[in-house]
Amino acid sequence: MSTALVILAAGKGTRMNSDIPKVLHPIAQTPMLVHAMRAGAVLAPERTVIVTGHGAEAVAKVATAEDDGTKIAVQDEQLGTAHAVAQAREALKGFKGDVVVLYGDTPFLQPDTLERMIAARAENDLVILGFEATDPARYGRLIMSGGNLDRIVEFKDASDEERAITFCNSGLLACDADTLFSLIDTVGNDNASEEYYLTDVVEIARTRGLKVTAVACDEAQTLGVNSRADLAAADAVFQAHARTELLDLGVTLMAPETVYLAADTVIGRDTVIEPNVVFGPGVTVESGATIRAFSHLEGCHVSRDAIVGPYARLRPGAELAEGARVGNFVEVKNAEIGEGAKVNHLSYIGDASVGSATNIGAGTITCNYDGVMKHRTTIGENVFVGSNTMLVAPVTVGDGAMTATGTVVTRDVEPDALAVARAKQDNKPGYARKLFDMLKAKKARQNKGA
């Protein structure tokens, strides 16, 4: 049976107090909408439809960047969840199969939960996702009769007996496409908000004699984000879970609560992560590496036994080979650092390649930008770059070469050559004392005048 996803992402999220659409606020540096899309991807959907509204263009851009086959439907007026799903009808035209309705601000849904919903669909016309609530007061109650779901009762409409029920509605459902839109067509807006509620399809389905059930999941999977406080809490939940996973996989986190991970961070076992390390999107660290304290990594790859930091920054395109070392206050961007190479102190290596076993001295800079274009620096193997060397790209330093301390390299250095490019030093005896006396006298006159 084919499957389609409809992800509701039209809400403004007034309580977020933000110009950014709610579903684009990030958890672990990834928009909530993308979390929902990745959860749904386990079903290998034939079609994915994102229903947008507030900030539709921005939401569509993020959705299609994640999956360029995604279809976009626009809900110009926010008239309720059933109305939102109805906007996906045209994008699902001709589709025959199950539709799973998700929410773009519910980022923690697990793939196995969706698989269980689809499995339940084999024996039911409509499947609702429910959860046992710790504090069920504000949720709609799922009224079950054996394995059948009879109805959903909102708290304000529930009897005392129904309010005692803790099995609650998440808002997610799975249903055959034709059946779903047929049910939605019957939903009315005769309520205080004059909105079309998706939950009403349960009662309509039951009156038609359709079989309806509910699948249960952990409450944490249904956690929605409606405010900045919710966002911070959701991010904390993600971080705690991700850190525990790394520890279980054999990664050493010296102070787990201080390590910040992105949604796609990959770290191999026997890697050591020291305190206060931040991982941005797109980072892979292979087994046995060490990431020292206060380092920041994003869009980079760190190979086995490499050492990064402390206080290092790896920017997108940084590639460290096995045993490479990038030390304190070093920044690497769009550059490859070869096997066993060292960039240990106070340097910037950008748009460059550094060969194996090369040593980059303190204060070295690859001058890669001319104000308009970026240019590349190529440094060979077993090169010794002296401290405070400026490499003005485009330039190549051959294997086995050396640059003298303080050299400004503006043309290629052939293999095994020594490059020296600095002004001749001239010592003037007694000039320091004369200069200091002159400056002190000037300062005394200024102070007297004041």
pLDDT in tens, 219-233: 999 988 989 999 999
Vertex 187, ends 184 and 190: CA angle to 5°?
160
Domains of the chain: 3-222 (3.90.550.10), 228-419 (2.160.10.10)
Has residue 78 got a pLDDT over 90?
no
pLDDT of 136 reads 86
Sign of the C-alpha dihedral computed for residues 434, 439, 443 and 449 taken in this order: positive
Has residue 258 got a pLDDT over 80?
yes
Place of tokens 């990834």: 30
The full DSSP string for 207-236 is HTT--EEEEEE-GGGG----SHHHHHHHHH
Q: What average pLDDT does range 433-448 have in this prediction?
A: 92
The pTM (predicted TM-score) of the whole model is: 0.88
Cross-strand pairs, 254: none
The single-letter DSSP state of residue 299 is S
Pick the range with the lowest mean pLDDT from 51-55, 150-154, 246-250, 259-263. 150-154
pLDDT of 423 reads 85
Has residue 1 got a pLDDT over 80?
no
pLDDT per position as a tens digit, 377-428: 999 999 999 999 999 999 999 999 999 999 999 999 999 999 999 888 899 9
Residue 264 burial (CB count, 10 A):
16
Q: What average pLDDT does range 94-103 have in this prediction?
A: 96
pLDDT of 204 reads 95
Has residue 125 got a pLDDT over 90?
yes
For residue 288 the two structure tokens come to 């046995």
Q: What average pLDDT does range 165-194 have in this prediction?
A: 92
pLDDT per position as a tens digit, 420-432: 998 888 999 999 9
* Residue count of the chain: 450
pLDDT of 189 reads 87
Q: Which candidate in 25, 35, 83, 345 is catalytic?
A: 345
Phi, psi (deg, nearest 5) at residue 385: -100, 115
CB 390 within 8 A of CB 377: no
Place of tokens 């509910």: 214
Active site residue 54: no
What string of H, E and C letters represents the secondary structure of 303-351? CCCCEECCCCEECCCCEECCCCEEEECCEEEEEEECCCCEEEECCEEEE
CB 368 within 8 A of CB 385: no
Q: Determine the Cα–Cα distance for residues 316 and 335; give it in Å rounded to an integer.
A: 9
Q: Determine the Cα–Cα distance for residues 273 and 353; give it in Å rounded to an integer.
A: 26
Q: Determine the Cα–Cα distance for residues 309 and 394; give it in Å rounded to an integer.
A: 28
Has residue 450 got a pLDDT over 90?
no
